[in-house]
């Protein structure tokens, strides 16, 4: 069975091992694949794994030997899953691996916004403390989290993990999710489920944890930003297009909200004219919330388990409703 990994570098830049995957078949691993090289590199492979390399319907149709597509992530919008379904090709993803790492990044951004750790450390490095007239100094208001209200939009695994951290800091938690059936009773007892607009109106901090759908695209828009407190912060470690970036930049620059911490943008890597790159009190990290060593190790293990399950005729984590059939594996 020939296996091709189209873009494995971000998952494994060298600190993990592909050995478990290589034991499952003849394995070719590329760090990155340009769009024009996708067909050539995947041609002849029965199993193709991708992270961000697009597998469109046209590409899928041109790969005659293709039997299985594995996505090295949770989101699978880079694959035309319906085109794969029509050819009875299962598409799998990794539904959970970075829950705690992403929740941790929420608070990395929030603590930076409330205490400006990076800024003050840099001023010390620049020598300012050495010549200060007092034993301490600060350039921005320092904000204590206890007693503040954390508003969470999307209350799945990561949203709930974020809520638990907020509660540990002594924050009040309110949350919105259109489907509350998956919220454990113990979380409902300590977190108040509210309407979407109430999150924007009442929260001191809003953290986004919802999937990107036609309903959630530009969820953070001019109208909802106008509902937020001037002292409120926005954190996005979920999906970039949840935010109308021009509207957020204007809200920040006009001091209609206090600040933002973003790990994702609508275009990645961003263009030089992306409005949030120079927005006031906006801190952006390069989509790294998922990328702790522990989370990537879990991700890689699930990827291997997904492939092994497919080869055993018992696919798991299939997102397009295609079961494996023995004749697929025997061809």
Each residue's pLDDT tens digit, 181-197: 888 888 988 999 999 99
Over residues 146-160, mean pLDDT: 97
* pLDDT (average), residues 128-144: 97
Q: What does the alpha-carbon distance between residue 3 and residue 259 come to, in Å, rounded to a whole number?
A: 45
Q: Is the dihedral of CA 239, 244, 245, 250 positive or negative?
A: negative
What CATH superfamily classification does 99-284 receive? NAD(P)-binding Rossmann-like Domain (3.40.50.720)
Say yes or no to pLDDT of 200 above 70.
yes
- Domains of the chain, by residue range, sit at 2-97+293-330, 99-284
- Res. 327: pLDDT tops 70: no
- Comparing C-alpha atoms, which of 92, 38, 44 is closest to residue 66? 44
Identical topology for domains 2-97+293-330 and 99-284: yes
Q: How far apart are CA 102 and CA 158, in angstroms?
A: 7
Q: What is the mean pLDDT of residues 3-19?
A: 98
Find all residues with CB under 8 Å of 93, minimum gap 6, and list them.
Answer: 70, 71, 73, 74, 75, 76, 317, 319
Distance of CA 24 to the CA centre of its chain: 28
In DSSP terms, 92 is beta-bridged to 70, 318
Q: How many CA atoms lie within 13 A of 194 on its CB side?
A: 20
* pLDDT confidence of residue 182: 80
Q: Is the separation of the CB atoms in 91 and 76 below 8 Å?
A: yes
**pLDDT(213) > 70:** yes
- CA-CA distances (angstroms) from residue 57 to 67, 87, 134? 14, 10, 65
pLDDT at 331: 41
Question: Active site residue: 144, 195, 268, 325, which one?
Answer: 268
2-97+293-330: what CATH class? alpha beta
Selected catalytic residue, list 41, 256, 287, 316: 287
If one counts every other C-beta atom within 10 angstroms of the C-beta of residue 70, the result is 27
For residue 330, what pLDDT band results from cuts at 50, 70 and 90? very low
Q: In angstroms, rounded to a whole number, what is the distance separating the alpha carbons of residues 92 and 50?
A: 10
Report the pLDDT value the prediction gives residue 324, as an integer from 0 to 100: 56
Read off the pLDDT of residues 214-269 as tens digits, 9 standing for 90 and up: 999 999 999 999 999 999 999 999 999 999 999 999 999 999 999 999 999 999 99
Chain length of the chain = 331
The answer to whether 242 and 208 have CB atoms below 8 angstroms apart is yes
Question: Mind listing the pLDDT tens digit for each residue in 41-76?
Answer: 999 999 999 999 999 999 999 999 999 999 999 989
**Dist CA 145 CA 212 (whole Å):** 29
DSSP bridge pairs for 193: 175
Task: Please report the pLDDT score of residue 181 as a whole number.
Answer: 82
- Based on the residue annotation, tell me whether 287 is a catalytic residue of this protein: yes
**pLDDT given at position 140:** 93
Q: Which residue has the tokens 């109430």?
A: 198
What pTM was estimated for this model as a whole?
0.91
Cα Rg, the chain, nearest whole Å:
22
Catalytic residue among 67, 209, 224, 239: 239
325 band by pLDDT with thresholds 50, 70 and 90: low
In the chain, alpha helices (H): 19-22, 38-42, 57-62, 81-86, 99-115, 117-125, 157-168, 185-190, 196-202, 222-227, 245-253, 293-311, 326-330
Q: Is 268 a catalytic residue?
A: yes
């Amino acid at each position: 069975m020939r296996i091709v990994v189209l873009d494995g570098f971000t998952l494994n830049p060298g600190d993990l091992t592909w050995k478990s995957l290589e034991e499952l078949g003849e394995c070719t691993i590329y760090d990155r694949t340009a769009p024009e090289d996708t067909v050539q590199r995947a041609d002849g492979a029965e199993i193709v794994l991708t992270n961000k390399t697009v597998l469109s319907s046209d590409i899928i149709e041109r790969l005659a030997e293709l039997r299985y597509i594995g996505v090295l992530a949770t989101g699978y919008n880079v694959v035309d899953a319906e085109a794969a379904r029509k050819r009875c090709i299962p598409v799998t993803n990794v539904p959970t691996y970075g829950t705690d790492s992403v929740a941790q990044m929420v608070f990395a951004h929030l603590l930076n916004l409330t205490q400006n750790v990076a800024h003050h450390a840099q001023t010390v490095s620049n020598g300012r403390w050495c010549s200060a007239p007092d034993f301490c100094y600060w350039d921005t208001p320092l904000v204590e989290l206890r007693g503040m209200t954390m508003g969470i939009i999307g209350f799945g695994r990561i949203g709930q993990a974020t809520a638990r951290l907020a509660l540990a800091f002594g924050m009040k938690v309110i949350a919105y999710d259109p489907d509350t059936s998956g919220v454990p009773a113990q979380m409902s007892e300590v977190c108040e489920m509210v309407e979407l607009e109430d999150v924007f109106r009442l929260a001191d901090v809003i953290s986004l944890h919802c999937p990107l759908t036609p309903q959630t695209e530009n969820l953070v828009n001019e109208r909802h930003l106008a509902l937020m407190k001037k002292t409120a912060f926005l954190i996005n470690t979920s999906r970039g297009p949840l935010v109308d970036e021009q509207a957020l930049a204007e809200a920040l620059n006009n001091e209609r909200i206090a600040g933002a911490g973003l790990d994702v943008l609508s275009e990645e890597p961003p263009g030089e004219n992306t409005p949030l790159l120079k927005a006031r009190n906006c801190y952006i990290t390069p989509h790294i919330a998922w990328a702790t060593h522990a989370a990537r190790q879990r991700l890689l293990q699930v990827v291997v388990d997904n492939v092994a399950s497919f080869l055993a005729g018992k696919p798991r984590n299939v997102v397009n409703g295609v079961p494996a059939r023995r004749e697929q594996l025997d061809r």
